[in-house]
A and B are shown apart, each in its own frame.
Chain A
Amino acid sequence: MNANQIQQDITIIKDMIAKTRRATAQSGLIFVIPGILLIVMVTAIKIFEYMRLSQLVIPTLIISITVVGIVSFIIGITVTGKQKVVTYANHIFGQIWIACGICCIITGFLFPIFKMYNWNLIALVCWPVIGIGFYLTGVIFEIKFVKWAGIVWWFAALVMAFIPGQFRFIVVILTIFFAYILPGLILNRKYKMWSQKNEA
């Protein structure tokens, strides 16, 4: 076996690992679409509060969170079903977001229903959990900006703890846009580039 044959073997191994990694990149849609729905929900709630229709706030919250949860689940199942290769990283990514989702349902949905705390503190409770999801996603896929998105969620939770309640919705909308939708769009762009590279 000469040096060329060894080099060929090494090249094959490296190429195949790189192609597999690119093929399992996340499309980002699981963040973009639910993110847009969340912004619409938060804006609607603020409008209802402004128009003194506070009796609509809680039903809107319940319906919106349910819709976002169902949409995220459907996108997750659809994307997973289309994947031709599943890595351990994909598997763990899915499990992390299932865990974060269940935690948010319990602490951010059921606890207010059972009057453990007031509805307007939901973001303070859920934001750190979502931050864990993004941070670990960034670690697993080795994408720095997604890790930083996680840190932004944690920072936003801290900021909301110290600002007056009526301004929290601004932080909520900014976090969802910059640390949920934007990472989703960037992931989607990278996913398209990688898909084209794999097909070439």
Chain B
Amino acid sequence: MKHEQILKLDPLIHAPIRLAILSILITAENANFTFLKEAIGTTDGNLSTHLTKLEERGYINIKKTFKGKKPQTMCTITDKGKVAFQSYLAQLERIVEMQKENKS
């Protein structure tokens, strides 16, 4: 396994919870905080931390609104986030192919 290939993996996406967040948002137009928490199976604090990291990099947008008196946090993936996720997938594919070549 070439070390350079592994280094090319985006370290921000290469974390299970952030990878899960982007996987959901790449499929959905938007997803709220509750759905992300339930689908990923994590705590409020943990999810908030990871969402903040993704927002700081510009991979997602977080919009806070109110539905009546209930706060709602909606997340959407940005164009930058889509490109980054697709690159991550492409890189993952290359690593899988290289592993197959190494085995044969």
**Partner-B contacts on A (CB < 8 A):** 1-3, 6, 8-10, 12-13, 15-17, 19-21, 23-24, 81, 84-88, 90-91, 198-199
Q: Across the interface, do B29 and A87 meet the contact criterion of CB distance under 8 Å? A: yes
Contact of A23 with B96 at beta-carbon distance under 8 Å, contacts A1-B6, A9-B19, A16-B24 already known: no
Q: Across the interface, do A86 and B19 meet the contact criterion of CB distance under 8 Å? A: no
Chain B residue with minimal CB distance to A1?
Answer: B6
A-B pair number, CB within 8 angstroms: 70
Q: Lowest 5 CB-CB distances: which A-B pairs, in order?
A: A84-B35, A16-B23, A85-B31, A20-B27, A13-B23
Q: How far is the CA of A20 from the CA of B26 in the complex (A)?
A: 10
Task: Report chain A residues within 8 Å CB of B99.
Answer: 3, 6
Q: Is the interface of A mostly helix, strand, loop or mixed?
A: helix
Task: Report chain B residues within 8 Å CB of A21.
Answer: 27
**Contact among B1, B34, B39, B89 for A20, CB-based, below 8 A:** B39
Tell me whether B38 is interfacial, beta carbon within 8 Å.
Answer: yes
Q: Across the interface, do B19 and A12 meet the contact criterion of CB distance under 8 Å? A: yes
Contact of A1 with B39 at beta-carbon distance under 8 Å, contacts A12-B16, A13-B19, A87-B27 already known: no
Question: What total of chain B residues lie within 8 Å of the partner, measured CB to CB?
Answer: 26
**Most chain A C-beta atoms within 10 Å of own C-beta, residue among B28, B35, B89:** B28
Chain A residue with minimal CB distance to B9?
Answer: A1
Task: Report chain A residues within 8 Å CB of B28.
Answer: 20, 24, 85-88
A sample of 9 inter-chain contacts (CB < 8 A) reads A6-B95, A12-B19, A12-B23, A16-B20, A16-B27, A16-B39, A21-B27, A23-B39, A86-B31
Tell me whether B87 is interfacial, beta carbon within 8 Å.
Answer: no
Residues of chain B in range 1-43 having any CB-CB distance to chain A below 8 Å:
1, 6, 9, 14, 16, 19-20, 23-24, 27-32, 34-35, 38-40
Q: How far is the CA of A81 from the CA of B68 in the complex (A)?
A: 12
Q: Across the interface, do B29 and A90 meet the contact criterion of CB distance under 8 Å? A: yes
Contact of A6 with B31 at beta-carbon distance under 8 Å, contacts A12-B23, A16-B40 already known: no
Chain B residue with minimal CB distance to A7?
Answer: B96
Q: How far is the CA of A6 from the CA of B9 in the complex (A)?
A: 11
**Contact among A6, A8, A84 for B34, CB-based, below 8 A:** A84
Tell me whether B92 is interfacial, beta carbon within 8 Å.
Answer: yes
Task: Report chain A residues within 8 Å CB of B14.
Answer: 9
